Amino acid sequence: MLHPSADSKDSQVPRRPPNEVCTLERMGAAFPTRLSFMRLLLRRMAKEKWRIQRERFDLDDQGFGKAVYRVALPNRSYSLAAFSNPLADDKRTDRVIASAWDAVFVLFDGQPTERDLDRLGENAPYQEAGRFEATDLVISRANRSIRLFEYACDCLAQGLQPDPEKMLEVGYLMRTTAVYGNGKFGISDHARVSLREEAQNSFQIEMLTVYLIRLFTTDQLDHIASCRAPDRAVKLSPDLKRSLGIGNSTGLGMAPFVVSHPELLHEWFYARETALSRIRSLADVSSESVTRARLLTQRAIRHLQQWRLDDPQYQARNQRLMDDLQMLEHWLSEADAQQRSQQFWNLVYRDSEAHLSVDGQEILVALLLEVYPDVVEGLDESFYSSETRVLDVGKTVYEFSAFLDDHYAWTDRFDFSKDSQNAHFWYVSENKLEPRFGRRFDEPGADKEMPVAIARDMAALRSALDAFDNAALLADFLLARPEFRHLVRRAQALSEYEYGEIQDNLIAAQTSPLDILRFKLACFGAAKFDPKSALWTRITMFQGAPLPHELGDPSIDDWWLYASPSLPL
């Protein structure tokens, strides 16, 4: 294993090409990295010394009431308004159609007045039926993991810490069923904060909301336990608080986002692939770096052992991944000085392509970015996009067709005359305004199809161009076929964004929306994917992340693939 090639030492290893990484199979094997949005947020919070203060905590002895957490930045502040209400067990559900939750939250721009809190307390529980103002940046709702919450609360009320193993079986006390931003349900459009440095990069305001919800959850737990036994109760230990994240139930709502924001998709891919290219190109690798990689591999093994799920396919994948990680650790343990001077990480990655699963290859990529934090510095600065698209109709049909043949030749892989390649359609549900995934030949609604089938539509555009006069201007073509206008604009806009398209058929019979969900969630920084059907999954966010008072610790950023060291292997 790990056989150096004669010409490997001083060559620059190119980025992996889009046709390799921008596929559903590869996206569905994504893992969080140092470039994940949660990590970016906490690094900024630590660097800029953000201060989090609990300004209000008006909860009764059952934990019902309202609380306000204020986050002070160097130049402004944000506040989380939390409202906790009684909820009958028969109304507790992860489904988006729910109309009541244990708690609802609003991230407020600035510091809310009493009038603001009264307004939010009245409207936030109604979510889409509520009325919001420009100061309301993010809304969310969440349910307790009721059995774990009650178990932990009982332990604390008795003066005992909960069993870490029981706590890690779930990994969170509360699970959000939605975190909405960017104008959803009438809250503020992202344009209000888009020019602020702390909000420019992807989903930073939403990630701040989740981090504050995590803080509220453990504060609420401590409060209820104290009310049950004022003279005996203890607070949850910092180690256990750190080990708990926030759960999330995610369905199809976020999947079309990566299709409708291709420029941003490119930036996420480009940053990761650039970092990997730099690491694979390192001519000499220190023994300390290999040791660090071994320790991270061991952590990943522990993380995998603590990853609870019921899905048989994921169970099989994770068993294969466990074998992959053990093989990787063996490779690292055998590395010698000669190999480390021969673009060692390129050798490891090339061997992974030959011997590891796609999951194993992608966890290796995430691990390597963790070994070299300096390599990713600055790569996240483009995690936003203006998405300005200008239509150029001055080229000839021949010139534009040649351009499409160069950029969209991958659509030739699919024969759209076959039903199997047209089996699904994406649409927006009328009652909840959420994306759905329909079966074209079994369900109504295909006439309301969302423009998600880029492979099919670009193939149709190429076919229509082939049938048109090559010497004609593109303007003439679009006058005759205006239905292709948006596709022409999209293709032209992405001419410099090589990773902008998912190079797969998103309506094929074998398409799994979970692949798209996992990719985007991994970009957030989520872990422990737990599919509950072909259409939605549970995840854990901020597990292992430092607590607010720990943000000044130099080691705060070392929580990739959290694994409790106290649990048995």
Tokens of 139: 């809304």
No. of helices (H) and no. of strands (E), the chain: 21, 11
The owner of tokens 């230990």 is 237
Residue 6, pLDDT score = 37
Instruction: Determine the 3-state secondary structure of 54 from DSSP.
Output: strand
Element (H, E) at 207: helix 204-228
Domain boundaries, the chain: 1-30+272-378, 37-251, 387-524
In this structure, what DSSP letter does residue 336 have?
Answer: -
Instruction: Determine the 3-state secondary structure of 63 from DSSP.
Output: coil
- Taking only the tens of pLDDT, the chain with its 569 residues reads 554 443 444 579 999 999 999 999 999 999 999 999 999 999 999 999 999 999 999 999 999 999 999 999 999 999 999 999 887 666 656 555 556 788 999 999 999 999 999 999 999 888 777 889 999 999 999 999 989 999 999 999 999 999 999 999 899 999 998 888 877 778 888 888 888 999 988 999 999 999 999 999 999 999 999 999 999 999 999 999 999 999 988 877 778 889 999 999 999 999 999 999 999 999 989 999 999 999 999 999 999 999 988 899 999 999 999 999 999 999 999 888 778 778 999 999 999 999 999 999 999 999 999 999 999 888 988 787 777 788 999 999 999 999 999 999 999 999 999 999 999 998 887 766 678 888 999 888 888 899 999 999 999 999 999 999 999 999 999 999 999 999 999 999 999 999 999 999 999 999 999 999 999 999 999 999 988 888 888 899 999 999 999 998 878 899 999 998 766 55
Rounded to whole angstroms, the Cα distance separating 279 from 272 reads 11
Question: Is the separation of the CB atoms in 368 and 345 below 8 Å?
Answer: yes
Q: Select from 404, 406, 394, 405 the least CA-distant residue to 492.
A: 404
pTM here? 0.93
Using a CB cutoff of 8 Å and minimum separation of 24, what contacts does 461-464 make?
461/404, 461/487, 461/488, 461/491, 462/401, 462/404, 462/405, 462/408, 462/411
Residue 405, pLDDT score = 95
Question: Is the separation of the CB atoms in 246 and 541 below 8 Å?
Answer: yes
Backbone phi, psi, residue 144, to 5° = -70, 150
Rounded to whole angstroms, the Cα distance separating 478 from 473 reads 9
Instruction: Determine the 3-state secondary structure of 205 from DSSP.
Output: helix
Rounded to whole angstroms, the Cα distance separating 116 from 536 reads 34
Q: Is 63 left (phi over 0), alpha (psi -120 to 50) or beta?
A: left
Could you count the other beta carbons within 10 Å of the beta carbon of residue 169? 13
Do the bridges between strand 172-180 and strand 245-250 make them parallel or antiparallel, or are there none, so unpaired?
A: parallel
Rounded to whole angstroms, the Cα distance separating 119 from 80 reads 14
Q: Select from 94, 70, 86 the least CA-distant residue to 212.
A: 70
Tokens of 249: 């139930």
How buried is 554 (Cβ within 10 angstroms: 0-12 exposed, 13-18 middle, 19+ buried)?
exposed
* Cα angle: 138, vertex 140, 145; to 5 degrees: 155
Could you count the other beta carbons within 10 Å of the beta carbon of residue 88? 7
The secondary structure of 474-504 as a DSSP string is HHHHHHH-GGGHHHHHHHHHTTT-TT-S--S
Q: Select from 401, 388, 404, 393 the least CA-distant residue to 491.
A: 404
Greatest extent of the chain over all pairs of C-alpha atoms, in Å: 87
Instruction: Determine the 3-state secondary structure of 525 from DSSP.
Output: coil
* Cα angle: 491, vertex 486, 498; to 5 degrees: 20
In this structure, what DSSP letter does residue 76 have?
Answer: -
Q: List b or e across 349-361, with b for residues whose CB sees 16 or more CB atoms inside 10 angstroms.
A: bbbbeeebebbbb
Q: Select from 46, 55, 89 the least CA-distant residue to 219.
A: 55
Q: What is the dihedral of CA 468, 471, 472, 475, to 10 degrees?
A: 100
Residues near 145 by Cβ (< 8 Å), separated by ≥ 6? 170, 172, 173, 174, 175, 247
